[in-house]
């Protein structure tokens, strides 16, 4: 088995201060066969090990389970679930993160459950709405954007969260994920809101929509704090009951991903009905709605 250091990193460490102890710590880190061009950053106890020329690199075998780390061996910012003990990817380049699609790790289910809906919507968007029956402008496109946004942000986040750029990159990806969620929460319901007030006067419709958009923008900040707080303080069920047993499948985040997809599917079904109704509406049930206001 080849060591996960390049250019004689172990020998260099042994020659410097700390001698045998430091060399031994480098040897003990996870190593894999040098058979592929996928670069990673070697770590020990969550700390990236740097060589004389900067960050050392190692090669990971694409299909090897040996490429995966335990929780104690990854950076602190990736140790957010204390009950997921194994299956972590090391810090990787962008290419290495992409290639992690081809072996199983503890983010695979998260990537698949939101990546598949994302691809489906992007490829089959023409079939998702009865375009021939819809004459309402803008709302159909707003709806499509709101249904695909959470999957785009989530897929990118889970795929590249272990990028070797570190914690700053991770936080940027997390913000992207939260932004996608906010778009769905705010604009996913816009079609239903418009349908609810469509019988009012034009002036009142615009007032309601303006208030709704203002509240949505205000909630952008509030939602980020709420979701981040929930991210840290979640119950972590069921992996909390059997730590280490659900690292790769059926942990709380996997279940949440599936439930969210199901929820957005029903949001879509309701929006389609609203769009068709708005397009075919010739009169309002409340004929004197405008006179009331």
Higher pLDDT: 41 or 153? It is 153
160-183 pLDDT tens trace: 999 999 999 999 999 999 899 889
The predicted pLDDT at position 177 comes to 93
The predicted pLDDT at position 148 comes to 97
How many CB atoms sit inside 10 A of residue 89's CB? 23
Closest CA to 164 of 236, 85, 89: 89
39 band by pLDDT with thresholds 50, 70 and 90: low
**Separation between Cα atoms, residue 288 and residue 286, nearest integer Å:** 5
Buried b (16+ CB within 10 A) or exposed e, 280-290: eeeeeeeeeee
253 band by pLDDT with thresholds 50, 70 and 90: confident
111-137 pLDDT tens trace: 999 999 999 999 999 999 999 999 999
- Block residue for tokens 């001698």: 19
**Mean pLDDT (whole number) for 134-159:** 95
The predicted pLDDT at position 233 comes to 41
Closest CA to 197 of 209, 189, 188: 209
The answer, yes or no, to whether the previous bond of 13 is cis (omega within 30 of 0) is no
The predicted pLDDT at position 234 comes to 60
Read off the tokens for 158: 């889970």
Q: What angle do CA 114, 145, 197 make, to 5 degrees?
A: 125
Hey, which residues does 51 pair with through a beta bridge?
54
C-beta separation of 191 from 271 below 8 A? yes
**Mean pLDDT (whole number) for 181-189:** 86
Percent of the chain with pLDDT over 90: 40
- Is pLDDT of 155 > 60? yes
Read off the tokens for 202: 């034009």
Q: Where are the domains of the chain?
A: 108-292
- What distances in angstroms separate CA 75 from CA 113, 150, 202, one per listed residue? 25, 26, 55
**Separation between Cα atoms, residue 158 and residue 171, nearest integer Å:** 12
59-97 pLDDT tens trace: 444 444 557 999 999 999 999 899 999 999 999 999 999
Q: Which of 96-100, 161-165, 233-237 has the lowest mean pLDDT?
A: 233-237
For residue 162, what is the DSSP state?
T
Q: pTM above 0.75?
A: no
153 band by pLDDT with thresholds 50, 70 and 90: very high
**Separation between Cα atoms, residue 131 and residue 215, nearest integer Å:** 30
Contacts of residue 285, Cβ cutoff 8 Å, sequence gap at least 6: 199
C-beta separation of 23 from 10 below 8 A? yes
**Separation between Cα atoms, residue 61 and residue 37, nearest integer Å:** 8
Closest CA to 224 of 167, 174, 160, 258: 174
Q: Torsion over CA of 264, 265, 267 and 272, rounded to 10 degrees?
A: 140
The predicted pLDDT at position 38 comes to 46
The predicted pLDDT at position 212 comes to 77
- The sheet carrying 91-92 orders its strands as 58-60, 38-41, 91-92
Q: Which of 11-20, 71-80, 241-250, 282-291 has the lowest mean pLDDT?
A: 11-20
The predicted pLDDT at position 107 comes to 96
241 band by pLDDT with thresholds 50, 70 and 90: confident
C-beta separation of 162 from 76 below 8 A? no
How many CB atoms sit inside 10 A of residue 176's CB? 16
């Amino acid at each position: 088995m080849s060591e996960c250091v390049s250019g004689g990193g172990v020998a260099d460490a042994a020659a410097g201060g700390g001698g045998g102890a430091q060399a031994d710590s480098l040897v003990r880190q996870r190593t894999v066969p040098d058979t592929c061009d996928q670069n990673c950053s070697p770590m020990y106890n969550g700390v990236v090990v740097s060589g004389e020329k900067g960050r050392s690199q190692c090669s990971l075998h694409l299909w090897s389970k040996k490429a995966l780390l335990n929780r104690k061996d990854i950076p602190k910012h990736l140790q957010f679930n204390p009950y997921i003990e194994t299956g972590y990817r090391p810090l990787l380049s962008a290419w290495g993160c992409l290639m992690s699609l081809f072996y199983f790790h503890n983010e695979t289910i998260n990537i698949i459950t939101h990546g598949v809906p994302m691809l489906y919507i992007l490829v089959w968007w023409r079939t998702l709405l009865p375009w021939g029956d819809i004459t309402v402008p803008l709302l159909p496109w707003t709806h499509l954007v709101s249904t695909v946004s959470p999957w785009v942000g989530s897929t990118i986040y889970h795929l590249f969260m272990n990028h070797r750029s570190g914690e700053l990159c991770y936080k940027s990806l997390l913000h992207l994920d939260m932004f996608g969620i906010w778009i769905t929460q705010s604009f996913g319901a816009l079609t239903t809101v418009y349908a609810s007030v469509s019988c009012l006067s034009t002036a009142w419709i615009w007032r309601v929509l303006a208030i709704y958009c203002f509240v949505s923008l205000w909630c952008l900040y509030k939602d980020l704090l709420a979701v981040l707080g929930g991210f840290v303080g979640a119950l972590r069920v069921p992996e909390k009951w059997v730590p280490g047993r659900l690292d790769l499948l059926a942990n709380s985040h996997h279940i949440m991903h599936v439930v969210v997809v199901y929820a957005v599917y029903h949001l879509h079904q309701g929006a389609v009905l609203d769009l068709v109704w708005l397009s075919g509406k010739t009169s309002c049930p409340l004929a004197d709605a405008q006179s009331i206001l």
